[in-house]
A and B are shown apart, each in its own frame.
Chain A
Amino acid sequence: MTGKAIATFLARRLAAAVLVLLVVSVVVFLLIHLAPGGPEQAVGGEFATPQQLANIRASLGLDDPLAAQYWQFLSHAVTLDFGSSIATREPVVDAIRSGLGVTAPLVLVSFLLICLIGTALGTLAAYRAGGPLDRATVGLALVGASAPAFVTALILLTIFGVQLQWLPVFGDGDGFVERARHLVLPIATLTIAGTTAMLQITRTRVKEVLGEDHVTFARARGLSSRYVIERSVLRNAGIQIVTRSGTIVVGLVSWGLLVETTFGLDGVGSLLVKAINARDIPVIQGVTLLIAAFIVTVNVVVDLLYFALDPRVRMQREVRA
């Protein structure tokens, strides 16, 4: 693979990403202005006088043309300056940073666990396809995935929070240890909800690959099981698993919002919900763009992993380049 091929590919992907982010920001910006209430009500409170509302509109530049307001936002956003929250006066970046202290470990640890447990159990189930272990594993995972996340959360909270009183039932904790304790159950909830998807794709693909000639040939040559799994099976199943990983990690962001609400966590999801309720435009725009940027980044990473995993993709790009 040449550097030029990668550079061309990356440039195209980044241009598309920027375009997506621009479209997202424009849509969100316009939607908020169409919503009832308007941002001035967030500042003045529900019962602010008309005079107060007029003053607030003037002071925030809300009477400027929409295009001017948007350009103002965009020129600052490129430097990660989303302004300050209309409601809380806190810089949006600070609020997002604070929320990420909860959401980032929640999503990332859950994702790692889902990958680890999902691929391990999926591979195991594929090797024992049709047997009791396969049925038990798939059955249990299906039960976990079928239960809505908030039901899983409530069951975990009742057992580990109320009955055993091992773990706290709400809040995100202060300091590393307390934060970790508070995130155990939310992470467990997300992991239970997301593992099935990973398990199923791994099981299906590994089972398919196991039946392919090159695996039979590798086994016939007496190669160790570990070698066969790592080099032949998982690598060949990898494309589909990586693709599913991308959708899982994006899904975790939206599931995380629900889990944050259920566990009373002040993460990015809760920040967004509060901001929407308060018509807090800078926060909504900041968080929405963050989420959009995250999703776009995940897609770019997935594409890059295709490069690494599948020589056919590399060849194709090189030929085009």
Chain B
Amino acid sequence: MFNEPRRINRRQALAVGGALTLGSLIAACGGSSDGEATGTAPAAAPPAGSGKPIDALTVSVPQLGDLLHTTRSVGPILGITLLGLEPLLLYRPDGRLGPNLAESWRQPSLTRYVFRLRRGVRFWDGSPLTPADVVASFQVHAGRSTVSASASYWTKVKRIAADGDEIVVDLSAPEPEFIYTIARTGVFSADFARRRGDRLGSPSALNMGTGPYRFTGFTPMSRVQMERNDRYWGRAPPIGRIDARVLNQDNLLLGVQSGDVDAAFALPVSQLKSFASLPEFSLTNVADAAVYKFNMVVDRAPWDDPHLRRAFAHAVDRETIAAGVLNGAAPATTLEPPETFAGALPRAEVERAYAELATLLPAYDLDKAKQELAQSRYPDGVETTVLVMASDPNLSAITQTAAQGAGEIGIEIKVREVDENTYNNAVYLRHTTDGLSIDNFGAGGPDLLNIPDLTLNSSNIPPTGFTDVANYASDEVDRLLAAASRLKVDDPRRARLALDVLRTAAEDLPYVPIAFPQVYLGLRDGLAYSGFNAFWWLNRWPDQLVAQG
């Protein structure tokens, strides 16, 4: 299975107002249009209102890759990469998939996807796009020898082949959400890649795609410069030049104040109030597809004791943390925001299910916490160290707050700040924490089973995976997930199975969900953005941006 805990925490919420609208909720969730597509028009939805072209745009993004290549593009990095190296299918702001380089696609069986390539598309150097380019672009992620950061999305891919104008992908087992992998996989020129060899994607070689914006400059992890592709096959790109930068918080604030920054995705948490106070800058926020959670390794002492886990869960004041530390975020009662289910199930049904999930998660109650601890093997409490990293100050703040409640019942928590590599190694890769850890787990794609599968499927325990950081293995959950994998991605039964998975996990309590954060977009006056959603980086976002007036 795949995994992508995005380190997006630094841009989470100190609220500056802006309640979620129904529209944004729907946009943020993962409806899909799996199966046959009939449309052949360019997929991008036209922005609302009347706009005028934008000559140049400087945009702040949370992350850029060390290579300008699809193998090093995950999460928000795709927000830039996919503008040049465009995918076969486009994830639209309304949560649906639309045709792009593939003019249509079909799924003849649960394990076979067939994409018909659009004709007449050319790379920036004038060479034609062929099925062989697509096959090469897919193959860099598949196979045992791949070094792609997206490799885990491709582990079930058995065969990739061209058949005339079609590209056929066969899986070894059903994986309904694989269609989203197609929407997040850019296509590059195989010939260009061959000629550049190992230097493909480096500042001197750049990359070659068919997208609406061609790359003109690249500084690893800092900056990507792009220009409009005037010969783009689809709708004329609305922005002349895009200068995408990763800025530190001070530079970003100063850049917005001086007018050097026009738009900023995923604004940093610590300065949201400063951004909100700027007179010519407006903020938009939506629920991010992510959850802050405590993880308890359930297959070794001391957290294998369910009473200890329940004691700790009772000692965590989620309401206070959501309001105080993540001001404006919604307290979490499970691993997945309810917005994820919008469109997949009737709203009333989702609300009923979430009300039940709320009763299953131990509520903040120190008396009950003490009772649970007394029943555990550790009536005198335990001592543990929780790792945090500086890039997400919320991790430390949440843990410190939780430690106060836990300390009152005898669970002594020390907070230790480490660098990102150490944190990722201990928490994700090797599961070598003391047993209790905290993270902000972001969905790698819009599918409603993305987070439950990554965090609860026993196949994601090392050595076969690592995102099940609690080492939680449940036959019941595995059975439910396997059943869901045999259903189409938009089948309501699949959504109900997802709710069953969450129920089962709530009873076993490998995780203590804390809060669902928000993601913020900032725009200077004169710009408007339609359909901002948690997966903005999968959308062709320049098409959603318009200059007004």
**Which residues on A are within 8 Å of B, measured CB to CB?**
35-37, 41-52, 55-56, 84-85, 87-90, 94, 98, 154, 157-158, 161-162, 165, 168-171, 174, 261-264, 266, 270, 274, 277-279
- Is B151 a contact partner of A48 (Cβ separation < 8 A)? yes
Nearest CB of chain A from residue B469's CB, rounded to whole Å: 12
- Is A157 a contact partner of B422 (Cβ separation < 8 A)? no
A168 to B152, CA, bound (A): 42
> What 0/1 readout, one digit per residue, does chain B (172-203) give for beta carbons within 8 Å of chain A?
00000000000000000000000000111111
18 examples of A-B residue contacts, CB within 8 angstroms = A46-B421, A47-B4, A47-B424, A52-B147, A85-B220, A88-B202, A89-B200, A90-B199, A98-B203, A154-B250, A158-B254, A161-B254, A161-B258, A168-B260, A170-B254, A170-B260, A264-B247, A266-B222
B247 surroundings in chain A (CB, below 8 A): 170, 264
Query: A87-B66, A94-B204, A161-B258 given as contacts; is B251 within 8 A of A169 (CB)?
Result: yes
A274 to B66, CA, bound (A): 10
Query: A169-B258, A278-B66 given as contacts; is B204 within 8 A of A264 (CB)?
Result: no
Q: Which of B197-233 contact A (CB under 8 A)?
A: 198-204, 217, 219-223
Q: Is B274 an interface residue (CB 8 A)?
A: no
- Is B421 a contact partner of A41 (Cβ separation < 8 A)? yes
Q: Is B382 an interface residue (CB 8 A)?
A: no
- Is A262 a contact partner of B250 (Cβ separation < 8 A)? yes
B147 in complex: contacting residue of A35, A37, A56, CB < 8 Å: A56
A47 to B425, CA, bound (A): 9
A48 to B4, CA, bound (A): 10
Nearest CB of chain B from residue A37's CB, rounded to whole Å: 3
A194 to B255, CA, bound (A): 27
B428 in complex: contacting residue of A42, A47, A165, CB < 8 Å: A47
- Is B422 a contact partner of A37 (Cβ separation < 8 A)? yes
If A52-B147, A89-B200, A161-B258 are given as contacts, then 10 extra A-B residue pairs at C-beta distance below 8 Å, sorted by A number, are A36-B421, A45-B72, A48-B151, A49-B152, A51-B144, A52-B146, A157-B254, A165-B258, A169-B258, A262-B251
A266 to B74, CA, bound (A): 23
Nearest CB of chain A from residue B501's CB, rounded to whole Å: 22
A174 to B225, CA, bound (A): 11
What 4 pairs between A and B have smallest CB-CB spacing? A37-B421, A45-B149, A87-B66, A170-B251
> What 0/1 readout, one digit per residue, does chain B (429-468) give for beta carbons within 8 Å of chain A?
1000000000000000000000000000000001100110
Nearest CB of chain A from residue B431's CB, rounded to whole Å: 12
- Is A169 a contact partner of B220 (Cβ separation < 8 A)? no
- Is B147 a contact partner of A274 (Cβ separation < 8 A)? no
Nearest CB of chain B from residue A153's CB, rounded to whole Å: 9
Most A CB atoms within 10 A — which of B151, B217, B420? B151
B203 surroundings in chain A (CB, below 8 A): 88, 90, 94, 98
Query: A36-B421, A169-B255 given as contacts; is B248 within 8 A of A264 (CB)?
Result: yes
Q: Which of B459-487 contact A (CB under 8 A)?
A: 462-463, 466-467
Question: Which chain A residue has the least Cβ–Cβ distance from B7?
Answer: A46
- Is A46 a contact partner of B428 (Cβ separation < 8 A)? yes
A44 to B71, CA, bound (A): 9
B257 surroundings in chain A (CB, below 8 A): 162, 169
- Is A36 a contact partner of B149 (Cβ separation < 8 A)? no
A171 to B419, CA, bound (A): 26
A168 to B258, CA, bound (A): 8
B5 surroundings in chain A (CB, below 8 A): 47
Question: Which chain B residue has the least Cβ–Cβ distance from A167?
Answer: B258
> What 0/1 readout, one digit per residue, does chain B (135-174) give for beta carbons within 8 Å of chain A?
0000000001111010110000000000000000000000
Nearest CB of chain B from residue A55's CB, rounded to whole Å: 6
- Is B250 a contact partner of A89 (Cβ separation < 8 A)? no
A46 to B258, CA, bound (A): 36
> What 0/1 readout, one digit per residue, does chain B (497-529) give for beta carbons within 8 Å of chain A?
000000000000000000000000000000000
A215 to B498, CA, bound (A): 91
A161 to B420, CA, bound (A): 33
Most B CB atoms within 10 A — which of A42, A170, A278? A170
Q: Which of B226-269 contact A (CB under 8 A)?
A: 245, 247-248, 250-251, 254-255, 257-260
Q: Is B3 an interface residue (CB 8 A)?
A: yes
Nearest CB of chain B from residue A280's CB, rounded to whole Å: 8
Query: A55-B144, A89-B67, A90-B199 given as contacts; is B250 within 8 A of A162 (CB)?
Result: no
A85 to B199, CA, bound (A): 10
